[in-house]
Amino acid sequence: MEFIAIIIALIAPIGVAVWTVRSSAKDTAKQIAALEESTTKQVESIKALSKQMIEASIKQVELEIEKNLFLAKQAKQEWEEIDKINNGGLSNIVEWKNEMMKRFQEGKPERDYHLYSKFAKELNVIKKRLEANKLKLNR
């Protein structure tokens, strides 16, 4: 009987140790799985954020391109008008040339108005695309 009690006394701690190891292994496996899932979600979140940042940068570049195209168009328009005045058929008549330059200068606000209006419409198109992207993000 003592022998059986000794064997049970030796086997019981071994059984508890085996059970503890298995339980601990299961807990560790669950924790590793949860960590992997969390890491995957974080990576996907970082990818989405990176994509949004790239899209925002692209929109900023598009805006700068539009602005510079606008300024280039404005400069070209003025350059061409002044060239017409300076190289026109009556450019050697000082009074005519001065009158045409005066008219050209007086017409600048109207020309600018038309250019600025067109530019504002183009900016509204960009704004609507940005708002559409924002709505996609909120879904």
Q: What is the pLDDT of residues 28-67, one digit of tens each?
A: 888 888 888 888 889 888 888 888 888 888 888 888 888 8
In this structure, what DSSP letter does residue 88 have? S
Of 5-9, 40-44, 58-62, 119-123, least confident by mean pLDDT is: 5-9
pLDDT digits (tens, 9 = 90+) for 66-110: 888 888 988 898 888 888 888 877 777 888 888 888 988 888 888
In the chain, domain spans: 2-138
Q: Residue 100's CB: how many other CB atoms inside 10 A?
A: 19
- CA 118 vs. chain centroid, Å, equals 24
Task: Assess whether pLDDT exceeds 80 at residue 9.
Answer: no
Q: Which two tokens stand for residue 42?
A: 């974080």
pTM: 0.54
